[in-house]
Each structure stands twice: as structure tokens, then as C-alpha cells.
Structure 1
Amino acid sequence: MKKIYQLLLILGLVMTPFFTQAHVKWFTKVTPQKETIEHILSSEFMGLALLAAVVLAALTLVIPKMAEWEPVKKIEDRLSSLRKYSRHLLKYGTAVALMIQIINGTLFAPEFHIHNTLVVVLTWVVIGLLLIPHHIATKLGSAILLGLFVYVTIHQGIFHMLDYGFYVAIIGVLLVGKTKFEHIGFPFLYLGTGLSLCWVAVEKWVYPGMALDIIANHHVPTFGFEPALFLVMAAFIEFVVGYLLVVGILNRVLGFVVTCIFILTTMLFGMTEVVGHFMIHIVLIIFIIEGVSFYNPPIKMRKTKLDQFIFVFLNFIFVLATFVLIYYRFA
């Protein structure tokens, strides 16, 4: 069992350079051209979908065994002791992320350039409020940040802003702090971040031309695979990452692996990567610290291992189909 887990982890590490393509709109000027649905649902796509569903379902059997290992228990205990800092990390991390963005002349993402003086002033007000160590200031800053997100959404469109839906989750966590709804904050963050990653992954299937342009111009390694096939595989891994966060599987290991990969991609894309993904780094570090102690993930609603296996397998296929169809319809 240990060897199986190590093999899966190594496979994930080898495959995850796809994150260099995350948010492809940041790194290419190619005009988006929608792929046909027949081409998207290729035999390779269908085969990888089934393989991913089986692997995810198998994790429901592997993870409980792994949790019983003594070294894992020690690491879990050490990380659990840091949970008291999670909200502070999110609060001040958001302030730093906004600071990096506004200095770069953008807000929420590298492609959203800000030319409105009032927006710049309000963003600095948000940063100042978040740096004040009091929950009232945090709530005021979060409320203004929500207003800024709505402002950018009005100008960029809801469909485009779905890529950055995790900011709504972050704002939600900050708003409910020190209230009776505080316990739902981090589960909402898991859900929002997971769904955002799934949404961004589908973009690479529907508009493959942009990502293929990045692979060619930035010399992204494809490990011997054809670029088109590598892109399909890469998007699947990214979709799986988001799905894992939503269903509550392997969150601490997942957060560690993805954070390391995001750091490595900085060598390819430099400052744009830092501006765009700094907030994601903060969120993933929080996932590493928190685990799922506060989160009653959907998989726990199924009591037996067989029920969990079947649930994850079928649910993944359903979620994948739903995302692809919705994105394709409104893209």
C-alpha cells in the first residue's frame, strides 16, 4: 500500500508542470478559438476521464491507511498546532497580495489593469484595514473588497470572473470571523478554491490554442507527449486538484505539492506568476495547516468503503460533464 501511494504521489509530481499553464490568458496574445465538442470529447479525453475517476475512487481506500502511519500522525499533530494562525495568515496574506497587485497596476489578476483612481484608493484602504489587528477593521476591509470585486465583475463579465471565484470565498471567510457563522468560513474557502481550479482547467479543453501557444513559446516540457495530448492530461490533473479540494481528499499533501509546483513555475513566468498566484499560495498553505478537521466533506456522508468508492467515481464523471457542458455553452 505504501508503494502504491508513493507511486501516485510521484506521478502527480511528474505530471503537474501543467500548472505553468494555469490562467493561460496571462501569458498569450493568441485570439481564443473554441474547439468543437466532438474534438474535446476525444477517445483520449474519455479514457483519461475514466482513469481519473478510478484513481480518485481508489484514494478513498488508500488515504485512511496512510493516516494510520506513525510519521504521518506526527506531521498531522505538528500542523494542527498551527491552526490558530490560519485566519491571521489569510487576513495578512490577502493584504500583501493586494499590495503586490496594486503596485503592479492590476487588481485580482494580471490581466485586470486598473486606471480608475478611486479603485486604487479603495484598494489601499482595504490593505490598511486588513493590516489593523481587529475584526471590525477586517470586516470593513472585506466589505469594500467585495464591492471592488463586483466593480471588476461588471466591467469584465461574470463568466470571466468565475476564474477568480476563490476571492469571493476569501472575502466570505474574513466577513464571518468572530461571528456565529465562523465555522462555515474555511469549508467555503475549500469549495470556492476547488471550483475555481476546475473552471480554469476546462478553459484548456475548450480553448486549447492559447495553452498550446504557451507550450511552444515558453518551451514548457511535455515529457515526450504530443503537445495536444499533454494539454489534455495537464488540464485533467488541474481539474482533479480542484475536485479533491471539494470532496475533501488528500488536502494537506495536495496543498504541499501544488504550492511547490507554483513556486517552480515562477522560473518560467517571473513576476506575472507572482502577481497572479500569490493569493493561491496563501490559500494552499492554509489548507496544509488546516487539513479537513473543520470540514465535513461530501465523501464522509457515505459510511462504507464501497459506497465511498462508487460515490467518488460517479460523482467525478458527473461533475466533469457538468463543467464541460456549462463552460462550452457559455464560453
Structure 2
Amino acid sequence: MRAVRSIKGRLGTAAALAVPLAAFATEASAHVKWFCAYDVAGQPRGLAEVLCADFEWLTGLALACLMLGCLAEGTPLGIALLNALDRVTTRIRTDTHLLVRVTLGFFFVSLWSLGGIILTPELTTDAAWIPWLQLGLAGLLISPRTTPLVGFGIVFLFAYATAQYGAFHLADYPVFLGVAAYLILTGLGISVLGLRPIDVVRWTAAITLMWASVEKWAYPHWTDPLIAAKPAMTMGASPELFMKAAGVIEFTLAFALIWTPLVRRTSAIILAGIFVSAVFEFGKVDAIGHSGIIVVLLAIAADDVRAAASRRQVVLAPAYYGAALAGFLALYYVGHALLFGGPAELTGMPVI
């Protein structure tokens, strides 16, 4: 009983610390392209402005939190927390496939009802057959046997949207391909390269959120209308610092999804809480748009597969985190420069 009370006390403390974190990140977690004007082809903020002193101490603090989580992995406390998570999420784990199907059914029926949308609110279309195709996909989700067809349908819609809006824009949404892979693999009862279906969707969710984090740093001004309408959301911080912090929080939690079991499950719970909280602020559109990733995060939180933890993971965390951060910044900025033009140092071409 003492051990249980100790665990509950520590969970309460962790929850208390997570509340202000969630409150800080919630407002910026609504996808800005759904609510504000944006220009994907516009020049992003220069890296020299992004990689400033504020950015450095924010990432240092985030990395310290990540390493603390790694230190708990494999300890009696960490094992007790994992056991507690296993018990609490039993029903979600047992019914993961059903929850995914029901949520996606809601998602596709909602898109049909709204009309003129390809997968996500800002990807609009005049094609009358798109809503009906999405309604058909919702119907196919009734039976587990036809879920692979839904997966292939999502891949088709993703490819169609890419043809309409470009690969750089659709780089915001690789989680759709992860969900498609999940439906195909679970429906056919197979795995790819030894990865379970939940692992595939977990990696694509992490990639999606890390990419979105870079966009917060590259285009903080896209969120200006939201901040102007709700100035209290910054909690006294400048809009510049607020967006940097929101991006760092999101990037760190996203990176945690590909790390050790306790770290990734805790991260999934925090992220799911943030996305659910954002629904109360931004309403129906946000609820529909984020329903898919919320159910994915719940599935990750319920995943009870464990791996042997080691101190090596704590030591390697800064190196892998730094590599991921540098890699996504480079991919975003170089990719944007090559596709839309940019500074000579990125494109290798003279600026005209």
C-alpha cells in the first residue's frame, strides 16, 4: 500500500507539473493553417533568428527533462509506473483496432458532411467525388476485413492532395500514411521489416509533429491573428518567445515518441491531453482534424511492449535529440529553398 501511495503521489506531482506545460502549449497546438492565412512558398524566418539564446536555453531545458525521463526507465519507480499504465490502459489496448476504426469513421463522415475537403481542413477541393469517396471509406471501416481498402484509399487521397498542393505542404501529414499502413498491416495480419503496425504509425506521428515544430519556428507570424485575438494565451511571454517555446515543447514530446517505453508512453499521454484541450478552444474543426492523431496517441500510450532499458540510452539521448533537431531544421530549410528559392547559401545558386 505504501508503494501504491508513493506511486500515486509521484503521478500527482508529475500531473501538476504537466498542467502548466499543457496550458502553455495548448493554444499553439491547433493547426495554424486551419484558422489563419498562410503562405507555404513565403520565405521562412532565417536560421540565425531561430537559433538564438532563447532557443538554446529552451532546448537545453527540454533535453534535461527528456534525460530525467530516461533515468527513470528501468528503475523500480519506472517499472511501477509502467505497470500502472498497463493496468489503466488495458481496455484501450484490447480495443485499439476498434477505437481506430470508430474514430476514423467519425473523421470521414465529418469530412463528407463538411464537403470540399481532402483529409484535412485547409486542403480544399471542388471535386464533388472526394466527399463521397471519404464517405465510402467510412462505410468500409464497419468490417475489420475491409480496413486494408481504407488504408489504400487514404494513400490515394494523400497522393491526390500532394498533386494538388505539393509535396512540401503534405510533409505536414505523414501520419496519414502511418494510419494507412496500420490499417493495411493489421487487416492483412503482416508486418514490415519486423515493425509492428503500431510502431509504423508511432514513427509517422513523431515525424509529423517534429516537422510541425519547425514550422512554428520558421513562420511564427502565421499565429499572430490567434495571439491578437487571445493575448492571454502567451501568459505574459512575448509572442516570439511563446512560439519558440511551443515549438520546443512539441518537438521534444514528438522525439520522445521514438524513445524508450516509459518516455514515449508519457509523451503520448501529454500530447493527447494537449490536443484534446485545444478542441475546447478551437471547436469542431479542431476536433475533426485532430481526431485521428488523438486516437493514435492513445494507442501509443496503451502499448505495453517493453524493451530492456540501459544507462546508454540516457547518454545517447542528447546526441540523438541533437541529430534529430539538426536534421529536421536542415530538411525543412534546404527543402524549402530548393522548391521555392531562398538564400544562396542554401540553394547554392546566386540570388537574383
Q: Is the pair's TM-score, using the shorter chain for normalization, greater than 0.5?
A: yes
SS in 2 for 1:110: coil
Q: CA deviation at 1:75?
A: 4.2
1:236 matched to 2:248: yes
CA distance in 2, matches of 1:30, 1:245: 28
Whole-Å Cα distance in 1 between the matches of residues 126 and 181 of structure 2? 27
Secondary structure of 2:190 counterpart: coil
CA RMSD of superposed structures (Å) = 2.4
Matches within 5 A, 1:48-67: 48-65=58-75, 66-67=77-78
Counterpart of 1:270? Answer: 283
Instruction: Find the partner of 2:147 among 127, 138, 143.
Output: 138
- Name whichever of 23-32 and 6-15 sits farther off: 6-15
The question of 1:329 aligning with 2:337 is answered no
Determine the C-alpha separation between the residues in 2 that align with 1:229 and 1:8: 24
Structure-2 residue corresponding to 1:107: 118
Once residues 56 and 191 of structure 1 are traced to their aligned partners in structure 2, the CA distance between those partners, rounded to angstroms, is 18
User: SS state of the match for residue 194, structure 1?
Assistant: helix
CA distance in 1, matches of 2:156, 2:98: 22
Q: What amino acid sits opposite 2:280 in the alignment?
A: M
Which letter does structure 2 place at the counterpart of 1:161?
A: L
TM-score, normalised with respect to structure 2: 0.83
State yes or no: 1:29 paired with 2:37: yes
Of 169-178 and 212-221, deviating more is 212-221
The Cα shift of 1:224 comes to: 2.2
Q: Partner of 2:18 in structure 1?
A: 12
Identity %: 22
Q: Using CA pairs under 8 Å that are at least 6 residues apart, name the structure with larger relative contact order, 1 or 2.
A: 1
- The alignment status of 1:319 with 2:324, answered yes or no, reads yes
Deviation at 1:88? 1.6
Deviation digits for residues 87-121 of structure 1 (CA, Å, limit 9, x no counterpart): 12112221211111221222321101232122222
Q: Separation in 2 of the partners of 1:257 and 1:116?
A: 38
Task: Give SS of 2:126's match.
Answer: coil
**After the TM superposition, which residues 276-295 of structure 1 pair with which residues of structure 2 at under 5 Å, given as runs?**
276-291=289-304, 293=305
- Structure 1 distance, partners of 2:323, 2:329, is 10
Q: Which amino acid aligns with 1:67?
A: G
1:163 match: secondary structure? coil
1:1-331 maps to which residues of 2 (within 5 A)?
A: 9-16=15-22, 17-22=24-29, 23-29=31-37, 31=39, 33-65=43-75, 66-69=77-80, 73-80=83-90, 82-105=92-115, 106-131=117-142, 133-135=143-145, 137-177=146-186, 178-181=188-191, 184-248=196-260, 249-291=262-304, 293=305, 304-305=310-311, 307-331=312-336
- Is the 1:33–1:209 contact (alpha carbons within 8 Å) kept by the matching residues of 2? no
Distance 2:21 2:125 in 1: 35
User: Secondary structure at 2:171's aligned position in 1?
Assistant: helix
* Secondary structure in 2 matching 1:250: helix
Distance in 1 of aligned mates of 2:211 and 2:55:
17
Distance, in Å, in 2 between the alignment partners of 1:118 and 1:111 is 18
Q: Is the 8 A contact 1:30 1:213 kept in 2?
A: no
Do 1:108 and 1:164's aligned partners in 2 also have CA atoms closer than 8 Å? no
Whole-Å separation in 2 of the counterparts to 1:200 and 1:148:
21
Contact kept, 8 Å, 2:206 with 2:258, in 1: the verdict is yes
Which amino acid counterpart does residue 282 of structure 1 have in structure 2? V
- Pair 1:26–1:8, CA change in 2 (3 A): same
Which stretch of structure 1 is more off in the superposition, 171-180 or 80-89? 80-89
Distance in 1 separating the partners of 2:169 and 2:323: 23
- When the two structures are superposed, what TM-score results if normalisation uses the length of structure 1? 0.88
In the TM superposition, what whole-angstrom CA distance separates every residue of 1:120-153 from its partner, at most 9, and x where no partner exists? 222122111112x242x11122212211111111
How far residue 215 of structure 1 moved from its aligned partner, in angstroms, is 1.6
